[in-house]
Amino acid sequence: TTLEDLDARVSVCRACTRLVEWRETVAREGRRASFAGQPYWGRPGPSFGDPDADALIVGLAPAANGTNRTGRMFTGDASGDFLYAALHRTGYATQPTSVGAGDGLELRGIRIVAAVRCAPPANAPTPSERATCATWLGRDLELLGERLRVIMTLGEIGWKGVLAATSALRWDVPRPRPRFGHAAEAELRTPAGVAVRLVGCYHVSPHNTYTGRLTPAMLDDVLLDLRT
């Protein structure tokens, strides 16, 4: 299996009834006036970026009118604008904005996935939805393989998703489980003995960025630290 095969399989997943209903209802009816007339992706958000990445960003879940509309991770909403600007400043993205498929944007050395790949109502996936989708996260981790050196999570749901996925893959995960925080760090180890850093970062949602809880400088610092 390749990452492309995996993305194709994820994109038709219907495992979570509530989320399938929501992603498709928003795609059909729930469009914002400003997006009227645009086709919506209305499916799980596939991973995006460099297939040879040694760094992985794990977000929460697609936004109903963001990734669920454009089909690309963190594309088409304020969270994504904040993230891609930072990825460009720190040398990971070839462009400062992500508009949608065909805009020419590429990532270098980094890949982006969501812990839960379908847009959840109120951005709040249930524990069982999080557990179900952690299987797909595990597949992405396996396919990135021994190149992977660092995983950065945007928020606690991504952090816990990574711990669930890596535990299921029988990685060496510290006990007690490391706690999420901004710039929190833990070391995981793959069954092949490769050390993988787990780094936390506050999520790029407007709730954090408009209030100054997460500033551009804070995000840049965490991104630059992934290279060390």
Contact residues: ligand DU, CB under 6 A: 49-50, 106-108
- Does 160 engage in binding with ligand SF4 (CB under 6 A)? no
Of 15 and 99, CB closest to ligand DU: 99
Cβ pair 47, 4 in contact under 8 A: no
∠ CA 148-153-156, rounded to 5° = 145
Q: Does 224 bind ligand SF4 (CB under 6 A)?
A: no
Closer of 15 and 169 to ligand SF4 (Cβ): 15
Q: Among the candidate windows 74-82, 127-135, 205-213, 214-222, which touches ligand SF4 by CB under 6 A? A: 127-135
Find the shortest distance in angstroms from Cβ 94 to ligand SF4: 28
Select 50 or 129, whichever has its Cβ closest to ligand DU: 50
**194 is a contact residue toward ligand SF4 (CB under 6 A):** no
Closest approach, Cβ 34 to ligand SF4, in A, equals 26
Which one among 83, 105, 115, 133 touches ligand SF4, defined by CB under 6 A? Answer: 133
Question: Distance (Å, rounded) from C-alpha 223 to C-alpha 57?
Answer: 10
CB nearer ligand SF4, residue 59 or residue 92:
59
Among 16, 60, 107, 154, binds ligand SF4 (CB under 6 A): 16
Q: C-beta of 169: minimal distance to ligand SF4 in Å?
A: 17
What is the nearest approach in angstroms of ligand DU to the Cβ of residue 54?
Answer: 12
Interface residues for ligand SF4 in 87-116 (CB under 6 A)?
116
Asked if 64 touches ligand SF4 (CB under 6 A), the answer is: no
Q: Any contact of residue 41 with ligand SF4 (CB under 6 A)?
A: no
DSSP codes joined into one string, the chain: --HHHHHHHHTT----HHHHHHHHHHHHT---GGGTT-----SPPPPEE-TT-SEEEEES---TTTHHHHSSTT-SSHHHHHHHHHHHHTTSBSSS---STTS---BSSEEEEESS-SPPGGG---HHHHHHHHHHHHHHHHHHGGG--EEEEESHHHHHHHHHHHHHTT-B--SSPPPP-TT-EEEEE-TT--EEEEEEE---SHHHHTTTSS-HHHHHHHHHHTT-
Report, in Å, the least distance between residue 107 CB and ligand DU.
4
148 touches 56 (CB < 8 A): yes
